[in-house]
Chain A
Amino acid sequence: MSSALPPLAAAGPILVAAILLALGHHLPRRSADIVAVLTALAVVGLGVLMATRTGNGALLHWFGGWSPRDGLPIGIAFQADLAGSAMVALVGLLFAASFVFAWGFFEEVGVQFHVLMLVFMAAMCGFCLTRDLFNLFVWFEVMSVAAFALTAYRLEASALEGALNFTVTNSLGSLMMLAGIGLLYARLGRLDMLALGEEAARAAGDPVIPGAFCLLAAALLIKGATVPFHLWLADAHAVAPSPVSMVFSGAMVAMGVFGLARLTWTIFAPVAEVTAALHAVILWLGAAAAVLGGMLCLGQRHVKRMLAFSTVSHTGILLMGVALLSAEGLAGTLAYLVGHGLVKGALFALAGVLMARLGGIDEIGLRGRGREIWPAGLAFAAGGLLLAGLPVGLMEEGTKLLDAAAGSEPYPWVILAVPIGAGLTGAAVLRATGRIFLGWGEVKGEEEHAPSEDEAEKANRPLPLMLAPVVAMLLLAALLPAHLAAEVAQHAATGMMQPGITPASVSGGEVPQHLPLGLLGLGLALLIAGWHLGRSRLPTLLSEGVEAVSAPVFAGLERLHSGLIGDELAWILAGLALLSLGIWFA
């Protein structure tokens, strides 16, 4: 169905950004804030509107009227299916929340923050809606460049170094992506993704196509911060200003997973080598990311770093749903993605509240100092419980769908990575809540290891204004009716799978059986958080025994994250080699 709506989602914010940049100096104070919030809300509206209109098939727009001639696509199209539209709505929502949260935060840089953020938002919308592979790359690049500039905004040593490593690793991803696109175009002669899918089905057995997939997947996994491509993430997310971190963790990382799902289901599904590699390698990478990310998250005391590693963990979970290669798995990923985006956005905003109100971000240094801002503590605890798998809302529904999808796997227990990852990250957030807001969990002799750099953010905003978007996001993530969410997610997933492209079969499992995950994640989270907070009251023998076993593991994991750019690149190369091996043996 032809429609003029999809291009608006990308063009609108860019136009507003251009106008803001041109008129910036003449506008009254705060007007940029108002314009930005309204634009983001308009994008939410547009996303919802497009979603409601996708009932009779995706909305299609050929730019400049260059529609296919004789079945040969010669132009560039935007195609809004239900999943893409929902992503647009999520992106708009996160940006609206971020703009409200950042009200007046960026006064001294004038409108530049808003301009960058609006371009960032437009790039994400374009990324979700485009049907052209090279166009996808262009939006990917625009997204990256805006993100690089936003990370380095504070121009402090740590922010600069985090931004440099972020830029280098992600630029490397971009050029891998371009090389992959070049290879695909060389073999198949198309850039339209649907046409590429048809051609790929015809060119079965061509070894270059799986090679191109390797490069494209590596690029998207770098953006999606999957083990072992994830090392840039913790530094970048920890040093970016909080309103920017909200969007990074909530939406940008998810874009990597969404892009991989999009490419898998439009281009690569008929290529047996690729589906086998997805199933053999990426499923396990996702599971590893979920567990390792959770452990790393638990090992942090810098709250923003902790949340960043929790993003690694949850992105691993999202990736598992894509690699399960079924409608239910994809639906689970989509539902989980939206839920996680909202919760993580809220948690990063709360970390920003800590930095603005308490002038610090070190969990141990802030112990007990959060009592004066107790409403933030309630929200923090709610976020932690939702991450851990409180049986309400979107994330729970996503977990259920993932569990069902894994039931037909040869190794259904791989799904245990979901409650373990969720439990570990939830435990870390609950532990931080207990320490900061209740003063529990005293740690002796640890204060001198506190991060040295001054981590305060501007405290020029009233607390209710900062908490309003947090509460809105948490409520939305928790209270959306479960059956509705599941139904929409399944529609979105089947809409993403192109008709006529059936995935090569991957598993011989006949009897789908669910593992009863139930409250495993939540229980694990409460147990670990309770352990950390109450350790000083337990018998010394017990607490020190566990410490002796676990401390070297956590220290070793932390040592791997040296923050050296050379190490990060070496791990990326290792990941690329792993993907290639997976395809080689598949």
Chain B
Amino acid sequence: MSALPWLVALWLFAIGFYGMMTSRHYVHLIGCLSVMQSGTYVLLLAAGFRWGAGPPIFSDHPPGTPAVDPVVQALVLTDIVVGAAVTALLLALALQLHKRRGTLDPEELKPMRR
């Protein structure tokens, strides 16, 4: 297994985190969160990958032939579903916030709190 997918996962995680920390717009921030999430998916898929192995579907080749790990793929699929729900909810919240305050910059939203 090469180190490349792990480095990609780490890079996506780091750049997403940086983007979120410095973000001046909530929609941009939510996008950065999705980038980080993709990093996790790369990490999971890399964990289950095997060179020379086929997809874990045994309809056209006999059971027992090498296949990549289907468990991590199931994990990724599950999280994509949850991630989509969370992103949708976040965007809906951001939209409502924009309707009420007219801005989505965290710095500008600050003064009215407390």
Q: Which of B17, B40, B44, B97 contacts A164 (CB 8 A)?
A: B97
Give the A-B contact count at a CB cut-off of 8 A. 116
Contact (Cβ within 8 A) A168 B75: no
On whether A157 and B112 interact (CB within 8 A), knowing A164-B26, A172-B33, the answer reads: yes
Bound complex: CA A174 to CA B72 (Å) = 16
Nearest chain A CB to B100's CB is how many angstroms away? Answer: 5
Q: Which residues from chain A contact B26 at a C-beta distance below 8 Å?
A: 164
Bound complex: CA A163 to CA B82 (Å) = 17
* Binary A-proximity of B43-73 (CB < 8 A = 1, otherwise 0): 1101110000000000000000000000110
Nearest chain B CB to A123's CB is how many angstroms away? Answer: 12
Query: Which candidate, A178-186, A348-356, A425-433, is the interface stretch facing chain B?
Result: A178-186
Q: Which residues from chain A contact B30 at a C-beta distance below 8 Å?
A: 168
Question: Interface residue tally of chain A, by bracket?
Answer: 35 or more
* Binary A-proximity of B25-36 (CB < 8 A = 1, otherwise 0): 010011001001
Q: Which residues from chain B contact A157 at a C-beta distance below 8 Å?
A: 97, 100-101, 109, 112
Nearest chain B CB to A421's CB is how many angstroms away? Answer: 23
Contact (Cβ within 8 A) B21 A179: no
Instruction: Closest A residue to B30 by CB, please name it.
Output: A168
Contact (Cβ within 8 A) A172 B43: no
Bound complex: CA A573 to CA B16 (Å) = 12
Bound complex: CA A235 to CA B26 (Å) = 17
Question: Interface residue tally of chain B, by bracket?
Answer: 35 or more
Contact (Cβ within 8 A) B110 A156: no
Is A563 on the interface with B (CB-CB < 8 A)? yes
Bound complex: CA A152 to CA B114 (Å) = 17
Is A54 on the interface with B (CB-CB < 8 A)? no
**Interface residues, chain A, CB within 8 Å of chain B?**
134, 138, 141-142, 144-145, 148-149, 152, 155-158, 160-161, 163-164, 167-168, 171-172, 174-175, 178-179, 181-183, 185-186, 191, 235, 302, 451-453, 562-566, 569-570, 573
Contacts A/B (CB < 8 Å), 14 sampled: A149-B89, A155-B96, A157-B101, A157-B109, A158-B112, A168-B20, A174-B82, A175-B40, A179-B43, A182-B47, A182-B72, A183-B47, A564-B107, A565-B29
**Interface residues, chain B, CB within 8 Å of chain A?**
9, 13, 17, 20-23, 26, 29-30, 33, 36-37, 39-40, 43-44, 46-48, 71-72, 75, 78-79, 82, 85-86, 89-90, 93-94, 96-97, 100-101, 106-107, 109-110, 112-114
Q: Which 3 A-B pairs have the closest CB atoms?
A: A186-B47, A182-B44, A160-B97
